[in-house]
Every structure is written in C-alpha cells, then in structure tokens.
C-alpha cells in the first residue's frame, strides 16, 4: 500500500500536482474575471478619483510591471513546488483573488480611466475594461501571499512583499485603479493572509477548507446569475449547480464527521456546521453517532443505514425492476423517503442529540448572514434565494445522495457478482465526480478500511491490483433491466 497521509500531517504534505492546480486556478479565475468585467449583474458604482489619484502622473513605462501580476501565482508554484509551504501560500492567494471576484460579482465597481494617447496605457485600456475596480485583486493576491510567507519565515517572502509594493504603485501609475481600490485590495489581502494563518494555527485541513469555499463560490455565482438575469430558463441550471454542490458539501461534512477538518473537535464541528450542517438542516452532532455506528456495525442488523435509510423503500441492495426503481427515486426526489427515514428513526427510540456550543455558534453565524441578506435585498430576492437553496436541498440533492449511498455498499460478499466486500470502490471520470462521487467518495471501500484517512489521501490507500468497478456499471447495479456482463 502507498504511504497514506493522515489528518495529523495533512497540511505538511506537499501539493501532489502543483502545475495542474495552477492551471485549474488560472482557468477558473480567468473565466470568472472575464464574466464580471463584461457582464455586471447590477448597477455599477463608479469609484471617484481622490486628490492622491489626481496628483499621481500616468507612467506608460510601468504597464509591463503592472502586468507582472499575471506571473505571481506561476512564480509561487515554481518556487514552492515540492515544499510544504506552497499549500498555505497558494490557499491565501487564491482566497484573496476569490474574495475580490465575488465582490465584483455582487457589487460591480468601475473607475473612469484618464484619457490615454497612443502608448502602453492606451493599449492596456483596449484589452481591459474599467470594471472590477474595488477591491484591487492586483494588490490583494500578492499581499496575502507575502503575509503567509513572512509568518512562515520563507526567504521568498521578501520577493512577494516587494512585488506587492510594486503592484500597489503601478496600479496607480497606469490609472487602472484608484487609491481607494488599492487600500481595499490591501485590506482584503491582509484579511486573507491572516485568516489562512489562523486556520494553520487551528490545524484546519486547508485542502478541505479550500474545497468548501470553492463549493460555496459555485453556489453564490449560480444563484446570483439566475436572480440577476431573471430568465426563467436559468433557474433549472442554477438548481442543478446548487444541488450538486450541496451534495459535494455533504461529502466534506462526512469527512468532518471523522474529525478530519481539524483535530480541535469543537472547532471542527463549528466549521462544518457553518459550511453545511446548519444551512443543510442536519447538524453534524446528529449525524455523527449514526455514522460511527454504521462503521461499527457495517452490514449487520444494527447498521443504521440498513435500519433507517431504506426503511419501507424498494431498495434491498439488489438491482430493481423499472417500476420499483422509479418509486425509489421519486420517493427520494419528493421528500417521501426522508419522512420515512425520520419516522423509522423515531419509532426505534432514536433521540435527537443535544446541540452544544459549536452548533449554537454556527447558527448565530447564519442568523447574521440571513439578517444581512434581509437588510440588503428585496423581499422578492430573499424568496428567490430561499427557493434556489431549499428546493434543491430537499429534492435533487437528496436524490443524488441516495444514488451515491446505493453505490457505496453491497448486499454482502458476492451478493454482487464478482464483488467480495460489503463496500464498493469505483473508477470514475469527471462527470461522475461532479454528480455522484465528489471528493473521492467513490473509494468507499478504502474509506471503511482507513477511516482515519482524509478524503484527499484516499487514492493512496488503494492496494496494488485491487479491483474496482467502472462507473459505467452503476446503472447495472441499480436496474435489473440491464443484463449482466458476459
């Protein structure tokens, strides 16, 4: 078996494929930036020029220095490849950039560019737009990286500190931003860097935290675009995006059930309850006893999944005929099976776990978030946000979770022809990862063998020559109408 990273040293493990991570970051942020600079979702606030802005001369020769921002993350990856400090530094920079982009999405801003003649600045104005002004991502990203590297006492911190200062100056000398934008960018970078260091001190798994933040960014973008553009046909894709990302958050929630988010248990529960436990209506304190009992009693009559999850439903860990399978899926899609699950749990004498301070603190965070939404948005917008969150949460997200659950466990050794274990392990591509198996939950056999291993280390837990089912076999596993392979 390969060397497996445990939760104790997750942040000390170097990024396995840094160049792939960089390419993904550049594509995602590039698409996001193009969107917010060409399709503002609301009235654009013009940032006025101050006295300092009017006093600073335009210097066309500083345009190449301004554009050096494009090399900040590639340089970071080049210097940090194979080193443990790359993870927190990259996290901080990506967080700063992401916060700026979300700000540009929710509150579009612009500057009035000074008149430029046929020089470098005129060329820059032709290829860029005056939108996405405040906060300045050109400043926020290198500042966040510099703060983390300084705290970690890395020599490259000097480079990024100087780079931050250079970009602060050149955003002004090229007229791309005003001093207020630079100030807000600096504040964003300081906040992102400080937040990253706080997570490190709390021993929070940065990979899991980054994944949760990315899922929420997808949800915010999907809901914001659907509401702002107001076209009815955008609601269906928004619901699909929200449901799949809710499902992905619940996979991270599953990991936090095993305290993989951080070893500080109360903080672990607070963070995951903020991420999905509270808005997903299932506090982790309720789910954990059931899930740990599932691990202890896998496949037996005491297994909570066998007791409650499929109670009074067609699924019996065998392929179903068309009508029973349709009944199963429709029951999941329209909340009926969820009601059956809870009724069976209560009839069996199940008690609701007492919710302590981590849940109460997470609930308080969400009270503040909802209060801010009520203060900032119209009643119609609030209703649409609620509908675009709760409609998928109670329907499509439940269906996706049930399909994934059905794909996790067999009816016993050899109940599925050719499979000798209680749990499945699947090979899947990107579509399967998006819809059914995010965050390596397809490696459920490996998870049950190694519950102390976080999601991102599960691929290293696959034994050499260990069998796996192909994702294309899922339909055959669920529906008896597909004949077995010869």
Task: List Cβ neighbours of 399 (8 Å cut-off, separation of 6 or more).
Answer: 329, 332, 333
Q: What is the pLDDT of residues 319-353, one digit of tens each?
A: 999 999 999 999 999 999 999 999 999 999 887 78
Cα–Cα dist 206/85, whole Å: 12
Instruction: Give 241-245 contacts, CB < 8 A, sequence gap 24+.
Output: 242/388, 242/389, 242/392, 242/393, 242/397, 243/392, 243/393, 243/395, 243/396, 243/397, 243/400, 244/397, 244/400, 244/434, 244/435, 244/438, 245/215, 245/216, 245/218, 245/219
- As a whole number, mean pLDDT of residues 45-66 equals 96
Q: What is the pLDDT of residues 71-110, one digit of tens each?
A: 999 999 999 999 999 999 999 999 999 999 999 999 999 9
pLDDT confidence of residue 6: 53
**CA 73, CA 96: separation in Å to the nearest integer?**
12
pLDDT band at 1 (very low <50, low <70, confident <90, very high): very low
Q: Is the pLDDT of residue 280 over 60?
A: yes
Which tens digit of pLDDT belongs to each residue from 123-177?
999 999 999 999 999 999 999 999 999 999 999 999 999 999 999 999 999 999 9
**Residue labelled with tokens 């894709």:** 237
Print the SS3 string covering 279-295.
Answer: CCCCCHHHHHHHHHHHH
Backbone dihedral angles phi then psi of residue 204, each to the nearest 5 degrees: -80, 135
Q: Which residue has the higher pLDDT, 193 or 416?
A: 193
Structure-block tokens of residue 106: 């929710």
- The structural domains of the chain, with segments of one domain joined by +, span 8-201, 237-307+351-478
DSSP state of 233: G
For the segment 30-49, the average pLDDT, to the nearest whole number, is: 96
For residue 426, give the 3-state DSSP assignment. Answer: strand
Share of residues in the chain with pLDDT > 90 (%): 93
Q: What is the mean pLDDT of residues 176-180?
A: 97
- The separation between CA 87 and the C-alpha centre of its own chain, rounded to angstroms, equals 16
Whether this model's pTM surpasses 0.75? yes
Is the bond leading into 135 cis (omega within 30 degrees of zero)? yes
- What is the mean predicted confidence (pLDDT) over 286-297? 97
CB neighbourhood size of 41 (10 A): 18
Residue pointed to by tokens 């630079």: 182
Q: Roughly what angle, to the nearest 10 degrees, separates helices 206-229 and 86-106?
A: 10
pLDDT for the residue numbered 400: 98
pLDDT of residue 484: 78
- Strands of 31-149, DSSP E: 45-46, 109-110
Query: What are the tens digits of pLDDT across the range 224-253?
Result: 999 999 999 999 999 999 999 999 999 999
CATH number for the segment(s) 8-201? 1.20.144
Q: Could you list the beta-strand ranges (E) of 415-468.
A: 426-427
For the chain, what is the largest distance between any 2 Cα atoms, rounded to a whole number of angstroms?
79
Let me know the angle formed at the C-alpha of 464 by 458 and 467, rounded to the nearest 5 degrees: 80
State both tokens at 336: 């009926």
Length of the chain: 486
* pLDDT given for residue 486 in this prediction: 67
String of DSSP letters for 16-70:
S-HHHHHHHHHHHHHHHHHHHHH--SSPPEEPPP-HHHHHSPP-GGGHHHHHGGG
Tens-digit pLDDT profile for residues 361-397: 999 999 999 999 999 999 999 999 999 999 999 999 9
Can you read off the two tokens belonging to residue 150? Answer: 């300084």
Quick check: 199 pLDDT over 90?
Answer: yes
Instruction: Count Cα atoms within 13 angstroms, Cβ side, for 223.
Output: 24
- Interatomic CA distance for residues 85 and 169, integer angstroms: 28
Under 8 Å between Cβ of 348 and 356: no
pLDDT tens digit string along 438-459? Answer: 999 999 999 999 999 999 999 9
* Percentage of residues of the chain with pLDDT beyond 70: 98
CA distance linking residue 95 with residue 106, whole number of Å: 16
Q: Give me 441's structure tokens.
A: 């939950």
Rounded distance between C-alpha atoms, residue 378 and residue 250, angstroms: 30
The predicted pLDDT at position 483 comes to 87
* C-alpha torsion sign, points 110, 111, 112, 116: negative
């Amino acid at each position: 078996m390969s060397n497996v990273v445990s939760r104790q040293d997750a942040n000390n493990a170097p990024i396995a494929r840094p160049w792939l991570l960089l390419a993904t970051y550049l594509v995602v942020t590039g698409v996001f930036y193009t969107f917010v600079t060409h399709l503002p979702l609301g009235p654009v606030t013009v940032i006025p020029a101050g006295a300092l802005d009017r006093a600073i001369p335009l210097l066309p020769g500083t345009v190449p220095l301004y554009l050096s921002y494009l090399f900040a993350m590639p340089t970071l990856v080049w210097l940090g490849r194979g080193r443990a400090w790359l993870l927190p530094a990259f996290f901080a920079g990506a967080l700063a950039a992401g916060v700026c982009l979300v700000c540009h999405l929710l509150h579009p801003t612009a500057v009035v560019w000074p008149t430029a003649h046929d020089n470098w600045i005129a060329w820059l104005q032709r290829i860029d737009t005056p939108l996405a002004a405040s906060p300045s991502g050109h400043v926020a990203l290198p500042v966040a990286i510099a703060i983390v590297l300084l705290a970690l006492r890395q020599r490259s911190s000097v480079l990024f500190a100087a780079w931050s200062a250079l970009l602060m100056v050149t955003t002004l000398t090229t007229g791309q931003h005003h001093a207020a934008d630079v100030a807000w960018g600096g504040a964003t970078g300081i906040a992102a860097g400080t937040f990253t260091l706080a997570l490190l001190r709390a021993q929070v798994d940065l990979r899991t935290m980054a994944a949760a933040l990315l899922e929420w960014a997808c949800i915010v973008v999907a809901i914001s675009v659907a509401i702002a553009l107001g076209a009815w046909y955008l609601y269906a894709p928004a619901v699909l995006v929200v449901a799949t990302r809710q499902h992905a958050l619940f996979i991270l929630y599953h990991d936090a059930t095993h305290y993989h988010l951080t070893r500080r248990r109360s903080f672990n529960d607070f963070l995951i309850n903020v991420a999905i436990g509270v808005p997903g209506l299932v506090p982790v304190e309720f789910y954990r006893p059931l899930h740990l009992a599932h691990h202890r009693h896998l496949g037996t009559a005491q297994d909570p999944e066998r007791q409650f999850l499929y109670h009074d439903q067609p699924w019996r860990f065998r392929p179903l005929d068309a009508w029973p399978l349709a009944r199963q899926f429709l029951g999941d899609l329209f909340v009926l099976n969820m009601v059956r699950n809870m009724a069976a749990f209560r009839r069996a004498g199940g008690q609701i776990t007492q919710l302590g301070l981590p849940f109460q603190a997470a609930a308080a965070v969400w009270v503040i978030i909802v209060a801010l939404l009520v203060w900032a948005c119209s009643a119609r917008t609030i209703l649409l946000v609620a509908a675009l969150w709760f409609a998928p949460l109670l329907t499509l997200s439940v269906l996706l979770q049930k399909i994934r659950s059905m794909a996790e466990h067999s009816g016993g050794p050899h109940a599925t022809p050719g499979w000798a274990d209680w749990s499945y392990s699947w090979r899947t591509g990107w579509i399967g990862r998006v819809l059914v198996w995010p965050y390596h939950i397809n490696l459920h056999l490996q998870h049950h063998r190694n519950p102390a291993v976080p999601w991102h280390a599960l691929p290293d837990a696959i034994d050499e020559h260990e069998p796996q089912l192909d994702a294309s076999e899922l339909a055959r596993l669920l529906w008896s109408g597909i004949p077995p392979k010869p």
